[in-house]
Structure 1
């Protein structure tokens, strides 16, 4: 545990993360709601980065896992009165099963990366169509969650919700850092950098790719449960649409894929900026934040192809923020 917190840039980034997480309580006003959305995306980016960055498998279907985490506890609560605190694990299990099946179907037959990405988005589209058209899922109307209190994963203030998602994000960050430095992380990066070489030295390719997908899917589903409880409403566009997946991938790429801190830095910069743009120019220029996201992505890819973490590591090499371009450097 000491090695975990002393690595990855030393203790300073960890201290900075905690300070930034506490800052909204000092700022007050509407900062809590923006901070909550930022922390949610930090959590979701960390989850996606496990399979999309560390393992190098470009998955575009995470909306399916998010929807599993949102809809499963909601349906269990509506039809059986089960608390979402319990139902969220059922949602995570559903997401893991779907993710492992997609991974097995794709990697068992050694599909190339582009084909894998297309398979994941195809499954996500099937999920979206099912949720949009089947009355049991509320169809396009969506479902309103039963009202409740803390025992039903519902709270009176945004501040309490923020604490919950901040704990989620910190736990996911610790897990990500542990994975990065473990044998599992080494194998995943080996598969990402040179799958044939990794297979030649005895790395079980299918096992570790499926493991990465399972962890990523399960974590994403838990984020979906939180988001559903916060909104107290679930509908296909929010949870199963392509927009949220694009944002997750974009934020992670800007921060730095395959790194511990990239999924933190990306949302930390882009989510507040996007909310400010939406609030300032939303009426006159709807969608302007998406345009800025795209321009920033092109700029980052051009100037710092390994993201903000890579740029910071080159600017301040003593910071030793982990960035990888090969298994050896990892």
Structure 2
């Protein structure tokens, strides 16, 4: 790959992250706006991780809420019951989510469930876990469990600002992981599997192994993200196993462009931002967020079936060419 092109991508990425890091300052470090953009970053991180299993491997996974919820409950329970700090609970939440992904993924991939059948199998885990934690009162139950007073040593802050910057760092790491996977042998195999599993298998690729590998990386990231999310919210409850969250993550990944690294984060900022503004100004209005995502999906399917990610690349190339001609 051209070194000049790589340096341009790094510079552009650094500028975008600098802009994101300055967002709280643009709003006067207002706690409401800091919290809102932190939630947007949660969606950006989750949809970027979804790109590994959904965009590269072509598996329409709808279990994001299961992995995030398990991370929330693992780290939250360890903190409230045993006083284990969240910076230790994060990797443990990732391991639990990864273990659950193995339990879910091995039989489904073993019996070659694909496309809609795999999607149905994965989304079924969300309400199952919700009911399980509702009746498991020692850990969950119908009452919200609050994390208690702030304690910076245990990663419990009295402001949303530290969580905002933790999530900015997390997004940078997830994008880097996407980049490394995409440009590795594993990435080439995953794209081959996503394009045609039978053809990939005929070329000697261990399809089941690489799909499981992608799923477990994705689940581990979301489990760790759940530990950050529970800190941001300050509580955990079985309702966090939310099918709308799951569908939103997959929708953002599809709209951003399958396999396009930067597409999902940009779309997350646009769609979730619009949804949050609408919720703040006019309320939910009987499911307004669903209407927003539905319309966005309809427009993309009709006019940009490959996603909007390539559109941003085209705009960048055109702008670059325009500046060169003027220069």
Report the TM-score when normalising by structure 1: 0.89
Matched residue, 2:77? 75
Q: How far did residue 316 of structure 1 move?
A: 5.0
The residue matched to 2:113 in structure 1 has which SS?
Answer: coil
Q: How does 1:58-73 map to 2 (within 5 A)?
A: 58-73=60-75
Q: How does 1:133-172 map to 2 (within 5 A)?
A: 133-172=135-174
- 1:230-272 CA distance string (max 9 Å, x none): 11110111x2110111111122222222210111111111121
**Is the Cα contact below 8 Å between 2:147 and 2:234 reproduced in 1?**
yes
**Is the Cα contact below 8 Å between 1:92 and 1:221 reproduced in 2?**
yes
Matched residue, 2:274? 273
Matched residue, 2:251? 250
Q: How far did residue 192 of structure 1 move?
A: 0.3
Q: How does 1:222-301 map to 2 (within 5 A)?
A: 222-237=224-239, 239-282=240-283, 285-301=285-301
Q: How has the CA–CA distance of structure 1 residues 195 and 319 changed in structure 2, closer, same or farther, with 3 Å as cutoff? A: farther
Q: How far did residue 148 of structure 1 move?
A: 3.8
Matched residue, 1:184? 186
Matched residue, 1:120? 122
Distance 2:207 2:316 in 1: 35
Matched residue, 1:305? 305
Q: How far did residue 11 of structure 1 move?
A: 3.1
**Gaps in structure 2 of 5+ consecutive residues:** 321-327
Q: How has the CA–CA distance of structure 1 residues 319 and 217 changed in structure 2, closer, same or farther, with 3 Å as cutoff? A: farther
**Is the Cα contact below 8 Å between 2:260 and 2:310 reproduced in 1?**
no
When structure 1 is superposed on structure 2, of 129-138 and 18-27 the one drifting more is: 18-27
Q: How far did residue 120 of structure 1 move?
A: 0.9
Distance 1:25 1:231 in 2: 21
Distance 2:67 2:112 in 1: 23
Q: Which of 40, 55, 58 in structure 2 is aligned with 1:53?
A: 55
Q: How far did residue 102 of structure 1 move?
A: 1.2
Whether 2:6 is the aligned partner of 1:6: answer: yes
When structure 1 is superposed on structure 2, of 255-264 and 185-194 the one drifting more is: 255-264
Q: How far did residue 97 of structure 1 move?
A: 0.7
Q: How far did residue 294 of structure 1 move?
A: 1.2
- 1:159-209 CA distance string (max 9 Å, x none): 111011111111111111111111111110000001111111111111111
Q: How has the CA–CA distance of structure 1 residues 266 and 195 changed in structure 2, closer, same or farther, with 3 Å as cutoff? A: same
The residue matched to 2:17 in structure 1 has which SS?
Answer: helix
Q: How has the CA–CA distance of structure 1 residues 202 and 14 changed in structure 2, closer, same or farther, with 3 Å as cutoff? A: farther
Distance 2:55 2:274 in 1: 24
**Is the Cα contact below 8 Å between 2:46 and 2:64 reproduced in 1?**
no
Distance 2:202 2:263 in 1: 30
Whether 2:111 is the aligned partner of 1:109: answer: yes
Distance 2:8 2:116 in 1: 31
When structure 1 is superposed on structure 2, of 154-163 and 77-86 the one drifting more is: 77-86
Whether 2:215 is the aligned partner of 1:213: answer: yes
The residue matched to 1:249 in structure 2 has which SS?
Answer: helix
Q: How has the CA–CA distance of structure 1 residues 177 and 5 changed in structure 2, closer, same or farther, with 3 Å as cutoff? A: farther
**Gaps in structure 1 of 5+ consecutive residues:** 321-330
**Is the Cα contact below 8 Å between 1:25 and 1:32 reproduced in 2?**
no
Distance 2:172 2:259 in 1: 18
* Total equivalences in the alignment: 318
Q: How does 1:89-100 map to 2 (within 5 A)?
A: 89-100=91-102
**Is the Cα contact below 8 Å between 1:137 and 1:143 reproduced in 2?**
no
Report the TM-score when normalising by structure 2: 0.90
Matched residue, 1:43? 45
